[in-house]
Structure 1
Amino acid sequence: MGNKLSDNAKALLTEAIVFEEGILPPKRIDLRKLRAVVTTKKERSDKGKAFIFYLCFMAVYINMVILQRNPYNSQTMQLGVQKYLIESAYVDPYSFEVKRFEDTTTVDDLWHWLQAILVENVIVDTYPNGRQTNKSDDGNILMHNKLTSGFRLTQRRVKNDSCILREEFQNFAPNCYGRVYWDARIGPTDQEPYLSSDESELWVYQDSTIGSVDIPYLDSGYFQVFQNGKQWSRERMASLRRQMWINEGTAWVRADFVTYNPNVRLFGYFQFQFDMRPSGQILPEFRSETMAAALYETIIDFGRLGLEIVCLVSWCWLTYSTIRDARTAARKNKSRWAYLKEFDNKVCVIQILLFLCCFCWWVAIVQNPIRDQLVVTETSISFKDGSQPNFTTLSILVHDYFVASAVNLVLALFRIMSMMKVNPNISQLSDTFTRCRKNIVQFGLVLVLMIIAFQLMAHLMFGAKMREFSTFDTGFISTVRVMLGTGTYTDLSEVDPIAAPVFYYPFVFIMIFVVFNMTIAIIMDGYALSQEERKTARKSHLKELNEIRFYHQLGWGIVRQLKPFAACLPRAIRFRVMQDGTQVDRYTEPSMAEVVALLEPVEKIEERFLTVAEYKEACDQANMPVRETQLEQIAERLHCWEDFEEPVYKKERMEMRRIQDAEKMERTITLLQERVATIVATQQQMGAKVDAILRSFVVSTVQFPEAQQI
């Protein structure tokens, strides 16, 4: 044959023949597999340590935030006062209709609620048996929430002539009030003094230093304080109504008060707001917040302080590790922003910055001077100048702090999902989102555009009659609710029976039957792709690493951290059983860091396979002495021996088998040709014999004519 075996094929063929004859060749270490296994295990080890550290850090952080929030006591305290005042009903003296806080639609309804509910229920001056309370027991709402120093009314106003009015309508409607925003703080607000209806009182706008000049806070408006008993409050409320304290220039009204509950050591700040739109609509809204009366007093408080210190130290270490990794990535890739190219690293940086913001928020809450400015007496809690305590700024800080903490926990979920890549068996969810993330984002843009299109459609059709679609933001939320099934066709048809089917049925068909299914299909494609990659990985030369169970990986990872206590561990944990049955002390064998160091001497070697002796010689030349037994243990432990059945030999073996098959085919053809030649020769011999017989027969016939007659 003209074809010749390559040197590699000859070597493989020789080894195969030797192996088939039972003579095992010397074991060789697969360098490529060793590098891949060591690199993968090192990355997983680092990620595993970071994963455990991060889980412990988040456990401390979650417990710290829960103790700071005290959610159960806060919720029960707020819910009790809310039901006490929001659910309480009164009878309209004109229509005899039973109304509540949420039924406020007119200025008369607002005054009725203030007089019948707020004054009568907030200023408590009798015991449940009807007897007059002692002076020290005045203002005990729901028996345990004591009113600090009465309640307060606040209003903010809008300027007249703050909107465009045509001249021909000025005689008919000379007053025109524009729209204000953010609790009447932004827009054409009016801060000028105004007179009562009988011009006996002048009400003045006050800003930012109400309570104490040492405590500026985000509050302003025209204030009325009620803290002189129930009878005086009744008369004052009736007087304000007669004097038209609330008139056409009023844009926003708030009634607020502060309570203190000694049982749970919480201040409660309750606000009842009325947004008075220029269209004539009044929108009531209830807001509340709780704040700790003292932050560090009890054993639980000091335990929380310990968690806060641990959390701060952990955050500092996390920040240091991130900066170190960012600098390493910058040097390696020669780019300052190389670390931020990965999505997981971006989430890490955002969370670190959010932790910093939360820390600053909490420092502002702890250092807020309001608590130090309070004067506590037998009958009241007030500022040093005698005014009612105001917790507006502190409540905003507390609210924003816990909102930021909640967002932080969502980011923590993304980080935990990314860290689950430490084991392929628990990273299926994160792998799926990684595969379909770009498609989901791109399709999400299309989804948002479609929602906006239908939202504008609903805004034009139903916005003039339904509050849910009257503005862009509320319309967007309402459209999403319809998409999720919370909005009903009946609500739309009651407003406009003709426009309802035009909007509802195309929206449901497109968004639910098409868009939702496409979204699920994108996610399923990502899941199928991740599963296909897992199957491929299980068939690769790293299949041992892709089949390891998470609890096995976690358990032995923890065992490896117990090296200082190795002498106390049982033999079953301390010793590793190798494939050949030998037992090796896992704490005396080379660590992963030492194995990584042993890769340096063979880093530039191009050969894929080395015997143990050759590997040891390379280490000796690099001044890294190592025993052959250690190299054997490493190869045995990491399953890095040369494998004749490994998929990596596929091309060489196919070439060798092709040549062998060609040789067999040639031998077969030669044999067939010989057989055919033999058969042809035999046929020729048989033909000659037949001819001889026929000639003999013809001769005999000529000599014996009687044979012809026969």
Structure 2
Amino acid sequence: MSKSEKKTPVKNEKPKRSWGCFGCIRAMWATRETEDTFLSPELYIQTTLRELIIYVLFLTVTCIITFSMTSTTMFYFTSAMANLFLDTKTVHAGSFRSITNTLDFWRFVQDPLINGLHWDKWYNNFEVPDDLQGYIYYENKLLGLPRLRQLKVHTNSCTVHKDFKSMIMECYAPYDHKIEDVTPFGPHDDGQNYTAWHYKSSEELGGSTHWGYMATYSASGYVQNLGFNKVQSLKIINHLYRQTWITRGTRAVFIDFTVYNANINLFCVIRLLTEFPATGGAIPSWSFRTVKLIRYVTKGDYFVLACEGIFCVFIFYYVIEEILEIKRHRMAYLHSFWNILDIIIILISLVCIGFNIFRSLVVKKMMLTLLEKPDIYADFERLGYWETRFINAIAIAVFLAWIKVFKYISFNKTMTQLSSTLSRCSKDLAGFAIMFFIVFLAFTQLGYLLFGTMVKDFSSFQNAFFTLFRIILGDFDFEELEAANRVLGPMYFMLYVFFVFFVLINMFLAIINDTYTEVKVDMSQQEDQFRMTDFFKEKTNKLMTVLHLTSDKGHGEKKLVRMDEWIKILKGFGYADVEIQEMFERFNYDGSRLLDIDEQNAMKKDLDKNRKKSVKKDMKVADKVQGKAPGEEGGSSDSDEGGIARTTGGAGVTYDDLVMLSKRVDRIESTILCQLEAVLTKLSQIESSRLTRRFDSPRYSNVSSNDPSTSRDPRARKAKIQKKSPKKP
């Protein structure tokens, strides 16, 4: 068919639906980004509601999955383990938290650690049966054997100044994996097969690095497993103590073990680290990772499994949706914040789905190995670490998913206050942020240099940075600063509080306050983009009509008249916007933007009354033109339904001619008013753009916002101009 023979599309003709594969996919994944919803308010609301309902279901499933990963029981399990191994006192009244030197470490290992790992007696000193051996608190199964691991640096790993070389023969630098000591030491052949004296690489041990206070430590080192019971473990500990396993080159000692509680199906991966810095002394730290590695045991767990399957379906759905949107918008797709947020949520979810499958396979393999070889160390440290990262990723995804809810409620002006305020003041906040961080970082560096050697909160640049943020929130220790320097400490504190707290923070609040006030004023003068109440009321009335649940008592069909339909009709008769708005608000009793049958009847009666008054006024004018008194008959007259005589004879202008002339004058007046309104609208737009440029200028600051002549809202100026213009008779 040639181009000239192609049919021209008929107006209001519905587009034909494509039944191809892509057409079906597009119908299932129709969104505001893939459809031209701006052409139809009803289509916009329908699409938005459909997206919102689907997303609420997705959010519900996601919350069910995430809340199943953690519980209050996890906290109490962690607390029980921490109290046992961190707070139990030694015979010398010390604990792991209070370790300050090598002797404190050995006292902890020989008493609280051994007694905490091996519960071989009941509370009444009766022996625990063999089948119950290896339980902590009689409830938590110790998996495999606990392990000690040491990291050392080799001798002369640092450089001694030439003036002290004759006095200092050995030098041990702070820890670095490049200067690790890998040579065997201690007794080489003691007949007990101790492995603590021989170095093993991270590939042999299969562990992971650890971030401590002083350094990041590798997974290698000198390793020694403890025994199955208290006697064996204590023998190993005493041997290492007597043979001076911890030397001057020791920089870190790790104690690793894992327990499992079958009552609550939870693992607790425990790591106790003691760092021995080059300065001397000891710094204890710890890690308790309570995780649920075996996911599906109870009926509730299998319900979560079903939710995880539904979650995967939702992710697949949203992947297809984003592909369709990218296919349509190309690079413009990345211009929207919500689209970028969608991609981040999908990527995090895909990574979590992959890790969930990987975790299940690895745990199953590790449990089989542990059952076959119960006399080895059960290395759940790496798996526990990544399980914690997995929970963190899911938490971030859920947080972003809740933020995304604003995308689907943005059609309501109240719901856009936050985004509108932040977007409007973004430039001001960016400029303020530069100024704030210049001052803040200056105080951070000053505090670090002044008090870094004496105050723990300023011992590093990072600590000083967060300490100053805490001071803003009222969390500070003034006495410690004053003790560090009686002159500079108080001066530093007062200067920081004045410039940052009293000046900069109040500037920040003023920017937010002023912008929020502007947004509130602008929103009070705007209508909602779409009214959900109107949409639901209209759909409800249609449904009631279809179900024959409405009664027609002399009113006919109860059809609702929308505001936009009313404006189109009255504009066709030449009415101005102000008159239309005034008429609609006069009879819109319930405040909705729809006129029901009662409101339509009231408006009809008012219009009939005004029409009769207008006819009487025209008849009086006609009688005066013919020189007759009102109500006086002359010639032949016909009585109309209103009882007013129509003059057909005599000298002067006839009534029909007068009516015809009046109609012509009305049409001319309507045309003039419409053209005048168009001119005023154009002038308002020009004036609005001019005032916008003027408001952006810093010199404009003293103009009152209450004066309509200087208002930034063009509708206020338009209303003032229309008040001054002559009204239509």
Q: Matched residues in 1 for 2:263 and 2:224: separation?
A: 30
Counterpart residue number, 2:366: 373
> Residue 457 of structure 1 aligns to which amino acid in structure 2?
L
What is the CA-CA distance between 1:83 and the residue it aligns to?
1.0
What is the CA-CA distance between 1:517 and the residue it aligns to?
1.0
Please say if residues 457 and 463 of structure 2, whose CA atoms lie closer than 8 Å, have aligned partners that are also in contact: yes
Is the counterpart of residue 527 in structure 1 residue 527 in structure 2?
Answer: no
Please say if residues 146 and 225 of structure 2, whose CA atoms lie closer than 8 Å, have aligned partners that are also in contact: yes
In the alignment, structure 1 segments of 5+ residues that lack a partner are 1-34, 93-97, 181-185, 331-335, 538-542, 596-601, 612-633, 665-710
Counterpart residue number, 1:320: 320
Deviations for 1:251-295, whole angstroms, at most 9, x for unmatched residues?
111112111111011222111111222222422112111233532
Counterpart residue number, 2:416: 427
Q: Matched residues in 2 for 1:308 and 1:87: separation?
A: 40
What is the CA-CA distance between 1:635 and the residue it aligns to?
9.9
Is the counterpart of residue 345 in structure 1 residue 339 in structure 2?
Answer: yes
For residue 176 of structure 1, the aligned residue among 150, 168, 171 is 171
Please say if residues 576 and 585 of structure 1, whose CA atoms lie closer than 8 Å, have aligned partners that are also in contact: no
Q: Matched residues in 1 for 2:154 and 2:399: separation?
A: 43
What is the CA-CA distance between 1:127 and the residue it aligns to?
0.8
Counterpart residue number, 1:144: 139
Q: Matched residues in 2 for 1:570 and 1:156: separation?
A: 84
What is the CA-CA distance between 1:345 and the residue it aligns to?
2.5
Counterpart residue number, 1:265: 265
Q: Matched residues in 1 for 2:721 and 2:469: separation?
A: 62
> Residue 107 of structure 1 aligns to which amino acid in structure 2?
T
Counterpart residue number, 2:65: 64
In the alignment, structure 2 segments of 5+ residues that lack a partner are 1-35, 210-218, 574-592, 604-669, 682-717
Distance 1:119 1:657, change over 3 A: closer
Is the counterpart of residue 458 in structure 1 residue 447 in structure 2?
Answer: yes
Q: Matched residues in 2 for 1:77 and 1:445: separation?
A: 45
> Residue 184 of structure 2 aligns to which amino acid in structure 1?
Y
1:266-281 paired onto structure 2 within 5 Å:
266-281=266-281
Q: Matched residues in 2 for 1:361 and 1:451: separation?
A: 40
> Residue 51 of structure 1 aligns to which amino acid in structure 2?
L
Counterpart residue number, 2:680: 651
Counterpart residue number, 2:558: 583
Please say if residues 295 and 301 of structure 1, whose CA atoms lie closer than 8 Å, have aligned partners that are also in contact: yes
For residue 505 of structure 2, the aligned residue among 494, 505, 516 is 516
Please say if residues 226 and 233 of structure 2, whose CA atoms lie closer than 8 Å, have aligned partners that are also in contact: yes
Size of the alignment, in residue pairs?
547
For residue 117 of structure 2, the aligned residue among 122, 132, 149 is 122
What is the CA-CA distance between 1:79 and the residue it aligns to?
0.9
What is the CA-CA distance between 1:210 and the residue it aligns to?
5.6
What is the CA-CA distance between 1:568 and the residue it aligns to?
9.9
Is the counterpart of residue 361 in structure 1 residue 361 in structure 2?
Answer: no
Deviations for 1:362-388, whole angstroms, at most 9, x for unmatched residues?
2221222x4323359xxxx55648412
Distance 1:518 1:209, change over 3 A: same
Please say if residues 293 and 360 of structure 2, whose CA atoms lie closer than 8 Å, have aligned partners that are also in contact: no
> Residue 294 of structure 1 aligns to which amino acid in structure 2?
I
Counterpart residue number, 1:678: none
Q: Matched residues in 2 for 1:382 and 1:36: separation?
A: 61
Counterpart residue number, 1:113: 108
3-state SS of the aligned residue for 1:195? coil
For residue 390 of structure 1, the aligned residue among 370, 379, 394 is 379
What is the CA-CA distance between 1:308 and the residue it aligns to?
0.7
Please say if residues 185 and 198 of structure 2, whose CA atoms lie closer than 8 Å, have aligned partners that are also in contact: no
Q: Matched residues in 1 for 2:302 and 2:37: separation?
A: 49
Deviations for 1:308-328, whole angstroms, at most 9, x for unmatched residues?
111111112122222222332
Larger Rg: 1
3-state SS of the aligned residue for 1:287? strand
What is the CA-CA distance between 1:129 and the residue it aligns to?
1.0
Q: Matched residues in 1 for 2:177 and 2:150: separation?
A: 15
Counterpart residue number, 1:246: 246
* Structure 1 length-normalised TM: 0.68
What's the C-alpha RMSD, in Å, of the aligned pairs?
A: 4.1
Q: Matched residues in 1 for 2:142 and 2:425: separation?
A: 56
Deviations for 1:441-474, whole angstroms, at most 9, x for unmatched residues?
4423433333222111111111111232222222
Q: Matched residues in 1 for 2:296 and 2:37: separation?
A: 53
Please say if residues 153 and 256 of structure 1, whose CA atoms lie closer than 8 Å, have aligned partners that are also in contact: yes
* Structure 2 length-normalised TM: 0.67
What is the CA-CA distance between 1:439 and the residue it aligns to?
2.9
Distance 1:133 1:433, change over 3 A: same
Q: Matched residues in 2 for 1:137 and 1:529: separation?
A: 71
Please say if residues 412 and 528 of structure 2, whose CA atoms lie closer than 8 Å, have aligned partners that are also in contact: no
Q: Matched residues in 2 for 1:328 and 1:608: separation?
A: 39
**Higher RCO by CA contacts (8 Å cutoff, separation 6 or greater):** 1
Please say if residues 118 and 229 of structure 2, whose CA atoms lie closer than 8 Å, have aligned partners that are also in contact: yes
Distance 1:364 1:468, change over 3 A: farther
Deviations for 1:295-351, whole angstroms, at most 9, x for unmatched residues?
223211211111111111111212222222233223xxxxx2x12223232222222
Please say if residues 186 and 245 of structure 2, whose CA atoms lie closer than 8 Å, have aligned partners that are also in contact: yes
Q: Matched residues in 2 for 1:223 and 1:372: separation?
A: 23
Q: Matched residues in 1 for 2:308 and 2:37: separation?
A: 41
Aligned-pair identity in percent equals 21
Is the counterpart of residue 479 in structure 1 residue 508 in structure 2?
Answer: no
3-state SS of the aligned residue for 1:194? coil
Q: Matched residues in 1 for 2:552 and 2:187: separation?
A: 93
Distance 1:113 1:468, change over 3 A: same
